Structure 1
Amino acid sequence: MADVSPIDLQRALKGADYPASRDDLVSPARNNGADDDLVEKLAQSGTQRFDGPDEVQKAVSGNQ
């Protein structure tokens, strides 16, 4: 799977409040029309809590 574009991730997580749990971010990503691959990567990331979008980017890109 290809890395997630930071722009796509930013669009997917528009309106998300941090810190946030992984589950707190999956719903807005779906509601914002995120690609299924991005939602799956987010839902299956090993990180339980994110303090900001940079941490989310690392988790979904496999750069933890």
Structure 2
Amino acid sequence: MRSNAMQLQESLAGLDYPVSKEDLVRWAQENGVGTETLQLLRSLPVEQFQTPAEIGDAIIELS
């Protein structure tokens, strides 16, 4: 999962906030994020994120 987390952080570079979960997933797909990470993003309970830290917090809560 560590490589996925690093890949996700790289793919989030340049993403404009706030971002909806739908736009986040689309952005990740366009930037080559792996299937496992895409499934994780799709399962996030939050519908809108204000910062990259909020995305990270939501992912941690799923773990």
Q: Which TM-score band applies after superposition, normalised by the shorter structure?
A: 0.7 to 0.9
> Counterpart in 1 of 2:28?
29
Aligned residues: 61
1:61 Cα offset (Å): 2.6
Q: Which runs of 5+ in 2 are unaligned?
A: none
Q: Could you list the per-position Cα deviations for residues 32-55 of structure 1 after superposition, in whole angstroms to 9, with x for gaps in the alignment?
A: 110111111111100011001111
Q: Which runs of 5+ in 1 are unaligned?
A: none
TM-score normalised to the size of structure 1? 0.78
Q: Could you list the per-position Cα deviations for residues 10-35 of structure 1 after superposition, in whole angstroms to 9, with x for gaps in the alignment?
A: 12223311001100100110111101
**Percent identical across equivalent pairs?**
31
Write out aligned runs for 1:1-64 (5 A): 2=1, 5=5, 7-62=6-61
For residues 37 and 60 of structure 1, the distance between their equivalents in structure 2, rounded to whole angstroms, comes to: 13
TM-score normalised to the size of structure 2? 0.79
Q: C-alpha root-mean-square deviation of aligned residues, in Å?
A: 1.8
For residues 57 and 7 of structure 2, the distance between their equivalents in structure 1, rounded to whole angstroms, comes to: 14
Which structure has more helix as a fraction of its residues? Answer: 2
